[in-house]
Amino acid sequence: MKNEKAPIPEITQLKEFKKRSGWSYHKISVHMEIHSQTIYFWLKDKYRPSSPALEKIRKFLNVYAY
């Protein structure tokens, strides 16, 4: 049995935003001021964002996703 971590709601919302909007990793990264490869790794579940990064994601979603 694999010990998997619970999904992060902000990452789930960011995945949904990317799919709906058609925005590239690069376009999202420019608006979040985070490297596009980092965003790619988050959305592919390779890395989990830090607390400050989660705050940037929340701010991004509040502006662009709602």
33 within a domain of the structure (yes/no)? yes
11 within a domain of the structure (yes/no)? no
Predicted confidence (pLDDT) per residue in 23-43, tens digit: 999 999 999 999 999 999 999
Whole-prediction pTM value?
0.88
Percentage of residues in the chain having pLDDT higher than 90: 86
45 within a domain of the structure (yes/no)? yes
Burial profile 18-53: b = 16 or more Cβ within 10 angstroms, e = fewer: beeeeeebeebbeebebeeebbeebbeeeeebeeeb
Q: Does position 10 have pLDDT exceeding 90, yes or no? A: yes
53 within a domain of the structure (yes/no)? yes
9 within a domain of the structure (yes/no)? no
Q: Does position 11 have pLDDT exceeding 70, yes or no? A: yes
Structural domain total, the chain: 1
Domain of 40 in residue numbering reads as 18-64
Q: Does position 1 have pLDDT exceeding 70, yes or no? A: no
| Total number of residues shown for the chain | 66
